[in-house]
Structure 1
Amino acid sequence: MTVASPLRIEPQYWQGRRLVADMLSTGKEVRILFSQRYAKTRDYESLRKQPELHDQIRVSDANFDNMIIIDRQVAAVWGGADEERSYGFVISDPDLLRVLHQFATVLWESAPGLPAHLALRRSEVDPITLAVLGALDLGLTDELAARRLAVSVRTYRRHVADIMARLGVATRFQIGARAMELGLLKAPAENSPRTVTSMAN
């Protein structure tokens, strides 16, 4: 299920929640992808009380329509919230369903999980975190980065490890990719030297 821009923004979508709950109760796998814009409208406290759902949500900065695919047998695509006329389609053609499923899968696999999205979107995005991200993006050595931030190398590395944990990643390169997905870093210009050296340390 991808949710980009519903026709009406509401605090809770009870019918959608009931559908997801019914699917989970029958053992079906549920994946939910939010757009960055839609994610900002959600009540995350209520989601935290539903860990089985919370862990199945990711947030993407890609452009996509609202869509639900059930058992790869049928799909519904709808939108038009920002246009004069809304639209909606029910799709059952196997070839088109396969394309939609592949598209949704690529979006899902490239998007950070909800916990990672929240970790740097909340007030936790402090100046030191942004400074460390900037140092990593420039490809600075730990020693040089620590001097720039006026901290010890050990403290700098602890900040890096903390950011890794908060973003749910295992390498410094993944920090950069995730930070760009969250809008905390700008993508390097094409053919820029930073493209080669960024996050290399």
Structure 2
Amino acid sequence: MDISVIGVSPEGVEIYRYFLRHRGEGVGDARKALGLDPDTVEAAVEELERLSLLDLRDRHRVVATEPRVGIERLIEQRLNELNAEIRRVLAARDAIAVFMEDQQQGERTATALDIERVEGLERVRERLDDLGFFCYKETLCLHPGGPLSRGAIETAMPLDTRSLRRGLAVKAVYHPKALDDSLMAAYLRDIVGLGGQVRITEEPMDRMVVFDRSVAVVPIHPKESARGALLVREPGLVSQLVTYFDGVWEAATDFREYTEPSKEPPLLSDLERRVLAVMATADKDEIAAREIDVSVRTYRRYVADLMARLGAVNRFQAALRAKEEKWI
């Protein structure tokens, strides 16, 4: 029996029940009968006296308060305390208006763009590590120029591996000069093997990293990245940078295709060709599966495999790429 919510301890419950059953007995009798140590009994009877559940004016003839009176009184006291606490909590709503005024004043006076300047290569790497750790959806990267240094690769590999194992999408575009270094090429192959998406382009591009399409990191000076970086959180600017990335990404070549270009269209089964044919036209999986006479589960399995082979992010794009690559 737990009535600690009204302030009675387990030991207090035991002693209170004893005196209800043994009217007129003393504190010493309860101690002997219950086998409790003197300090425990003393603390419990003092608690019960404070709660008006025991009358200890004569410790040799203790009187227990009738439960319908004593317990009910404690319940009412506790309810009054809880009601008072609820009123205090509800009164906190009055602070919302004050805080809203503060927010509105801040919005009226804010003039600076949300752009943070971070100077020094080491400091930039620290901030990139922080942003990568708290990233929860995807990372977009553009890497113009040659290969990364050995130290940069050793730093980047565990971060990329951690992101991919957490289920994040990692999309990066490199210049072909990055592949001139065997260590760099091996690093990119490892990233692709772990599920990262890497493309190659010979077109000029600006260096940047975007986390969750909400924070973009660009160099302070486009030709001297070691000087530092700007962390951009302004939604309008970030959106423009993401659009720029998407354009570069679409025009780039898949890493595997660039390094090991296929000379002939891949061998596709008749079912795979039929799946590709309906991917861009059917509105629902059920309709597409019925059209080619397979189960929905089988259809979806084939779609997932074909999208992975084509490096497509959606089914419509997969169908377009299949036509471009003359798969269908």
1:16 pairs with 2:156 = yes
What are structure 1's unaligned runs of at least 5 residues? Answer: 121-160, 176-201
Q: Name which of structure 1's ranges 15-24 and 93-102 shifts more when overlaid on structure 2.
A: 15-24
Task: Give 1:4's aligned amino acid.
Answer: P
What are structure 2's unaligned runs of at least 5 residues? Answer: 1-140, 267-309, 311-320
- Cα distance change on mapping 1:97 and 1:118 into 2, 3 Å: same
Give the percent of matched residue pairs that are identical in Structure 1 and Structure 2.
Answer: 18
2:200 aligned residue (59, 78, 85): 59
| Counterparts of residues 35-54 of structure 1 (less than 5 Å) | 35-43=175-183, 44-53=185-194
Equivalent position of 1:143 in the other structure: none
Cα drift, residue 31 of structure 1: 0.5
2:242 aligned residue (92, 101, 104): 101
Greater relative CO, 1 or 2 (CA 8 Å, sep 6+) = 1
Q: Counterparts of 2:220 and 2:176 in 1: how far apart (Å)? A: 16
Q: Extract structure 1 runs of 4+ deviating beyond 4 A.
A: 79-87, 168-171
Q: Deviations for 1:29-65, whole angstroms, at most 9, x for unmatched residues? A: 1101111222333533454345444651110122112
Q: Counterparts of 2:166 and 2:265 in 1: how far apart (Å)? A: 35
Q: Counterparts of 1:19 and 1:106 in 2: how far apart (Å)? A: 26
Equivalent position of 1:118 in the other structure: 259
TM-score under structure 2 length normalisation: 0.34
- Cα distance change on mapping 1:86 and 1:52 into 2, 3 Å: same
Q: Counterparts of 1:102 and 1:76 in 2: how far apart (Å)? A: 15
Equivalent position of 1:75 in the other structure: 216
Q: Counterparts of 1:99 and 1:105 in 2: how far apart (Å)? A: 10
Q: Counterparts of 1:17 and 1:87 in 2: how far apart (Å)? A: 21
Task: Give 2:263's aligned amino acid.
Answer: D
Q: Counterparts of 2:192 and 2:172 in 1: how far apart (Å)? A: 13
The structure with the greater share of residues assigned to helix is 2
Q: Counterparts of 2:198 and 2:227 in 1: how far apart (Å)? A: 25
Q: Counterparts of 2:220 and 2:154 in 1: how far apart (Å)? A: 19
CA RMSD between the two structures: 3.3
Q: Counterparts of 2:264 and 2:219 in 1: how far apart (Å)? A: 37
